[in-house]
Amino acid sequence: MLFNIFIFITFSSILFFLGILGIFIIRKNIIIILISIELLLLAININFLIFSFFLDDIIGEIISIYILSVAGAEASIGLALLIIFYRLRGIISVDYTSALKG
């Protein structure tokens, strides 16, 4: 039983580390940054679900559904902003996002 939880926590930690690497190492591409944020949220969801299962509690599953809805909203708003930015500038790069200041 303990071995199974160790596998899931290791998998979740690897996903979280890949998300952190994607945010801090690849800073030029906005789409990669959005995907990395989704990986971070996925790793957190896996932790909530695994601990909810092993502790026999439903709170982790409820929080996981809430995080999924926030991740969906974040992805849709982020992609909408990318489309608007691409229509204005013709390029998607983090270097040119300072042009969006009010």
pLDDT of 102 > 70? The answer is: no
C-beta neighbour count of 81 within 10 angstroms = 14
* Cβ atoms of residues 19 and 36 within 8 Å: yes
pLDDT, tens only, 51-100: 999 898 999 999 999 999 988 898 899 888 888 888 887 777 776 666 66
Q: Residue 10 class from Cβ within 10 Å (0-12 exposed, 13-18 middle, 19+ buried)?
A: exposed
pLDDT band of residue 2 (cuts 50, 70, 90) is: low
pLDDT, tens only, 23-47: 998 877 888 888 899 999 999 999 9
Q: What's 97's DSSP letter?
A: G
What domains lie within the chain, and their CATH numbers? 2-100 (1.10.287.3510)
